[in-house]
């Protein structure tokens, strides 16, 4: 019951579930929900209901409900003891026609901490062994990659006259499920089985968690002892709005994998001078927007690198545009990092570079970095002025064409 409430809080559809502690209450709830109904054992200790004959399906009248309640109570008492029986849950009987039973879960791995599972569900989940694993948090692309690794995925696309299921909605559900795992760190195990998925076009109960289970970590575990995610979640604390000098309302936020098309557009707006100042030599546009390159720049491990983009939404068209990007890269094995700033030529002199660097310094302080630096071309006087304004010191280098900007950030606020 509680597990379904948690899922519902994250926007994951769940089947209506009511708890009854007597046969008479089960009948009353069944009549409120409407026949046919399903009765399942309600217990704080039993997690696999079918193993103890704790599930009765397709009950069509009060007599069947009363008999099912008594049968479940007797089965639990006989097999495991009455102390494991706290009543039953009453649910509507969902039509399984043109539907698929999936499983979605997570448990703790000794090396990777929380690991996600997706595959064919139902009572025979252990028999079919059709599953794929992934690491949270997911985005829609990663969710689709997990789905594609399973045999059931071909059926979900439509087979033997059946329509395809709504794969986009299923992607979103996987993303929301991964957020449960990321945010609720006290969860040790969680699974939805079955997750019922019906053909696209059926609106009612087309995607619904029929049953769910959550196991928490021991009460005596401390926050520091909780398993840490292998992949750092999207750092929402660095998302905020800002206004440029000419009054444009923008959002400054960490980059996302799906920003690749926006980064391509950004590179189309850059002059040769901007490219030269950023990379110290000219790079062809085709090389700068190559998919292999942008994948590495957009899909980050936020523990090692942070990139902030200035995202502008055109109020008339609703289209988004990245006006600038600032990047902070940690130097391996040190408490130091290097920064780089790139601003579209059309939006220079609007304070974007200064604001991005200011926010990168805040990230550096949060990450307990000792030193942040960058090498800047001597002729790039605008970037040097930005650095000096924010407290950087500029040093000459052995290469007369390059200067070095440094600032110590540890402990400063």
pLDDT at position 47 is 75
pLDDT at position 233 is 87
Looking only at the bridges linking them, the beta strands covering 55-59 and 88-92 are: unpaired
Q: DSSP assignment of 356-377, as one string?
A: HHHHHHHHHHHTT-SEEEEEEE
pLDDT 10s digits, 60-88 = 999 999 999 999 999 999 988 888 899 99
pLDDT at position 378 is 96
Q: In the structure encoding, which two tokens stand for residue 160, read together?
A: 């033997």
- How many other C-beta atoms are found inside a 10 Å radius of the C-beta of residue 396? 10
pLDDT at position 91 is 93
**Mean per-residue pLDDT, 22-33:** 95
pLDDT at position 151 is 92
The answer to whether residues 252 and 341 touch, using CB atoms and an 8 Å cutoff, is no
User: Which percentage of the chain shows pLDDT scores above 70?
Assistant: 97
The span from the CA of 36 to the CA of 60, in Å, is: 4
pLDDT at 212 over 60: yes
- How many other C-beta atoms are found inside a 10 Å radius of the C-beta of residue 342? 23
* Mean pLDDT for all residues in the chain: 92
User: Which percentage of the chain shows pLDDT scores above 90?
Assistant: 77
Looking only at the bridges linking them, the beta strands covering 336-343 and 371-377 are: parallel
Tell the residue number behind the tokens 């491990």, with chain if given.
Answer: 301
Angle formed at CA 258 by CA 252 and CA 262, multiple of 5 degrees = 65
The span from the CA of 97 to the CA of 204, in Å, is: 13
Angle formed at CA 207 by CA 202 and CA 209, multiple of 5 degrees = 145
pLDDT 10s digits, 388-412 = 999 999 999 999 999 999 999 875 4
Q: What is the dihedral of CA 71, 76, 82, 87, to 10 degrees?
A: -60
Helices 2-9/167-183 angle, 10° precision: 110
**Mean per-residue pLDDT, 233-241:** 93
Q: In the structure encoding, which two tokens stand for residue 275, read together?
A: 């490219």
pLDDT at position 158 is 82
SS3 63: helix
pLDDT at 129 over 70: yes
pLDDT at position 202 is 44
The domains of the chain, with CATH numbers, are: 16-92 (3.30.1490.20), 99-218 (3.30.470.20), 236-408 (3.40.630.30)
pLDDT 10s digits, 312-352 = 999 999 999 999 999 999 998 899 999 999 999 999 999 99
């Amino acid at each position: 019951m509680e597990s379904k409430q948690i899922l519902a809080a994250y926007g994951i559809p769940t089947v209506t579930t009511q708890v009854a502690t007597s046969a008479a209450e089960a009948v009353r709830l069944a009549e409120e929900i409407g026949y046919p109904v399903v009765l399942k054992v309600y217990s704080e200790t039993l997690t696999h209901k079918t193993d103890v004959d704790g599930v009765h399906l397709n009950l069509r009248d009060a007599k069947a409900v009363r008999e099912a309640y008594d049968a479940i109570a007797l089965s639990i008492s006989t097999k495991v003891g009455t102390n494991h029986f706290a009543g039953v849950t009453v649910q509507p009987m969902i039509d399984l026609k043109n539907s698929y039973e999936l499983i979605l879960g997570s448990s703790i791995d000794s090396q990777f901490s929380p690991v996600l599972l997706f595959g064919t569900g139902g009572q025979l989940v252990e028999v079919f062994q059709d599953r794929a694993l992934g690491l949270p948090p997911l985005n829609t692309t990663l969710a689709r990659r997990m789905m594609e690794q399973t045999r059931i995925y071909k059926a979900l696309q439509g087979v033997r006259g059946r329509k395809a299921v709504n794969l986009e909605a299923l992607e979103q559900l996987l993303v929301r499920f991964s957020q449960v795992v990321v945010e609720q760190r006290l969860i040790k195990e969680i699974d939805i089985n079955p997750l019922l998925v019906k053909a696209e076009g059926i609106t009612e109960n087309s995607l619904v968690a029929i049953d769910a289970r959550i196991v928490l970590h021991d009460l005596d575990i401390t926050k520091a002892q909780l398993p840490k995610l292998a992949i750092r979640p999207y750092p929402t604390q660095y998302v905020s709005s800002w206004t440029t000098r000419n009054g444009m309302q923008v959002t400054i936020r960490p980059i996302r994998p799906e920003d690749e098309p926006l980064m391509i557009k950004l590179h189309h707006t850059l002059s040769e001078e901007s490219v030269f100042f950023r990379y110290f030599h000219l790079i062809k546009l085709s090389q700068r927007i190559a998919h292999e390159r942008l994948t590495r720049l957009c899909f980050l491990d936020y523990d090692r690198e942070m990139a902030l983009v200035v995202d502008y939404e055109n109020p008339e068209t609703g289209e988004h545009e990245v006006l600038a990007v600032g990047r902070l890269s940690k130097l391996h094995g040190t408490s130091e990092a290097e920064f780089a700033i790139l601003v579209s030529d059309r939006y220079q002199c609007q304070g974007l570079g200064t604001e991005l660097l200011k926010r990168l310094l805040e990230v550096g302080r949060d990450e307990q970095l000792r030193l942040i630096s960058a090498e800047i071309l001597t002729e790039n006087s605008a970037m040097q002025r930005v650095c000096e304004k924010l407290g950087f010191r500029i040093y000459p280098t052995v290469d007369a064409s390059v200067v070095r900007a440094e600032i110590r950030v540890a402990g400063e606020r």
